[in-house]
Chains A and B, each alone.
Chain A
Amino acid sequence: MSSAAELRFIQLGALSLRLNAIDVDQIISELLTHQQQAPDLMTRARLVLDVSQLGDEPIAETDLQALAAALNEHKLGLVGVVAGGQAAAVASALRLPVLRSVGEIRLAAADARRAQTTNEPAESPAQDDVAAPVETEDADYRPTRFIDRTIRSGQQVYARDADLVVVGSVSPGAEIIADGSIHVYGTLRGRALAGATGDEQARVFCRDFRAELVSVAGHYKVLEALPEGLKGSAVQVWLQDGQLKLDPLD
């Protein structure tokens, strides 16, 4: 018999906002710059506050309230606080849950497994922790989106939560977007944006590179002139240390 409800671990498209200082005006102006550079990414963004870099100095509640209000005003909603540092105090001030980052969850899962093998009860997570220890293989699986035709000027294709494979070509002025990676087996003449919700592991692959713009997780490059050595070649685009890399595949 199938169960009425399933508990599954999913990765949500939230961005972590790591604070190095509490300077509301500066934070907002920096975020607006990001928003201009990657409007697709930022307009749908939900932020998780990371205060682990702020040290032990108590954070004034008024500063936190001011920051939350300013973010709200720019339609960047805070949905939680990343565990670490003064997370618990900040979370209770802002009435937000404390969330564990995926890395910690993996550790927790490993602990749980170890605990099971040694027959010791696993330590129960703190009350305000939302994360459940589940292995990543169980994460939601979305099938790759396939497009078998040419994507023409003015058309836009978005593969939500999935990879995108285009067997045809992408015309100049067309735009293909995926939350995962993008593969183009024809000629890529338009724009290709991989990792649209912030997946920095996403890549763009194409067989005949003539793109106008490529982007991974909001890091983009406008190719006003196609670099020699890439034009017409099979090319891979990925992100390394926050830098967008474009290299021929062969």
Chain B
Amino acid sequence: MAEIIVVTSGKGGVGKTTTSASIAMGLAERGKKVAVVDFDVGLRNLDLIMGCERRVVYDFVNVIQGECTLKQALIKDKRNEKLFVLAASQTRDKDALTPEGVEKVLDELRQDFDFVICDSPAGIERGAHLAMYFADRAVVVVNPEVSSVRDSDRVLGIMASKSRKAERGDGTIKEHLLITRYSPKRVADGDMMSIADIEEILGLPIIGVIPESELVLQSSNAGVPVILDNQAPAGQAYADAVARLLGEDRPMRFTEADKKGLLKRLFGS
């Protein structure tokens, strides 16, 4: 039986899809069978970041409406045969997602996979609610700024009261915090919220801190999840986060501003 993990945030543009792609790829790289599902119906992006946008034939909504089988709609990743993508529909709107339909698809995915990653749309409306509703765990993506922290807090509150687990009184969704676009230097300068600030307000364990990096944008544009770049700090930080999701204990990296030596300062890093 698969574990369903929702990647959510409330606020848009904080790196949910980037995170979904990297976590899904990271879990697959560690031998897990993973399906990653794009819940952002109408604004599909996950397929772009996974680099499979030209292979989308059927999508999530087609499966829900019985226009194809789940097997037909799942796109196998070219780099990792254990990873499958279920794309969102570009042409429908979020009303096409029904609770019964989503439940049916997720139940079917549960049978065959170790992990199902649900990439939530921004906001707290239907799509976001359905993405979190059936989840066992949640990765809440937050940027080190007040509005993102506030929105994450709101989403955590909704998750605590309006998930299936909460409604059935069947435990709670296990919550993790993932900080993205973190710049230790700007924190040191006092321009950005620190890890401690965020942790204190949200009161949740942090599963990873992804440093701000231009490389993330580059790899997103190239359709390569940044976790595959094992030289880049962002890629390594995602790999650490995946390890922690699997229960490993790893020290946080890339959270301190590096003190550049004279040579580095002269010749750049």
Q: Do A and B come from one complex?
A: yes
Which A residues are closer than 8 A to B by beta carbons? 149-155, 168-169, 171-174, 186-187, 189
The answer to whether A154 touches B158, judged by C-beta atoms less than 8 angstroms apart, is yes
Partner of A153, one of B150, B161, B200, B203: B150
Q: Which residue of B lies closest to A189 (CB)?
A: B201
Do B153 and A171 touch across chains, with their CB atoms under 8 A apart?
Answer: yes
Bound together, the chains give a CA A181 to CA B101 distance in angstroms of 46
- Select A171's contact among B158, B161, B201, beta carbons within 8 Å: B201
In the complex, chain B residues whose CB is within 8 Å of the CB of A174: 157
**Total residue contacts A-B, CB cutoff 8 A:** 35
Q: How many B residues are at the interface, by size bracket?
A: 10 to 19
Residues of B within 8 A of A (CB): 150-151, 153-154, 156-158, 160-161, 200-201, 203
What chain B residues lie within 8 Å of A152 (beta carbons)? Answer: 153-154, 156-157, 160
Closest 8 CB pairs of A and B: A152-B157, A153-B153, A153-B154, A155-B157, A154-B154, A152-B153, A171-B153, A152-B156
- In the bound complex, CA of A174 to CA of B154 (Å): 9
Q: How far does the alpha carbon of A155 sit from the alpha carbon of B156 in the complex, in Å?
A: 10
Contact B157 A168 (CB under 8 A): no
B156 contacts across to A, CB distance below 8 A: 150, 152
Contact, CB under 8 Å: A154 / B203: no
Give the most central of A171, A173, A174: most B CB within 10 Å: A171
B201 (CB) vs chain A CBs: closest residue: A171
Of A149, A168, A173, which contacts B153 at CB under 8 A?
A173
Q: How far is the CB of B176 from chain A (nearest CB, A)?
A: 15
Q: Nearest Cβ distance between residue A210 and chain B, in whole angstroms?
A: 10
Chain A residues closer than 8 Å to B154, beta-carbon distance: 152-154, 173
Bound-state CA distance A177–B201 (Å) is 21
Residues A173 and B150 in contact, CB atoms below 8 Å apart: yes
User: Quick one: which of B157, B200, B201 contacts A154, CB cutoff 8 A?
Assistant: B157
The distance from the CB of A153 to the nearest CB of chain B, in whole angstroms, is 4
Q: Give, as a whole number of angstroms, the nearest-CB distance from A135 to chain B.
A: 41
User: Once the chains are docked, how many angstroms separate the CA of A153 from the CA of B140?
Assistant: 15
Give Cα A174 to B160, complex, Å.
14
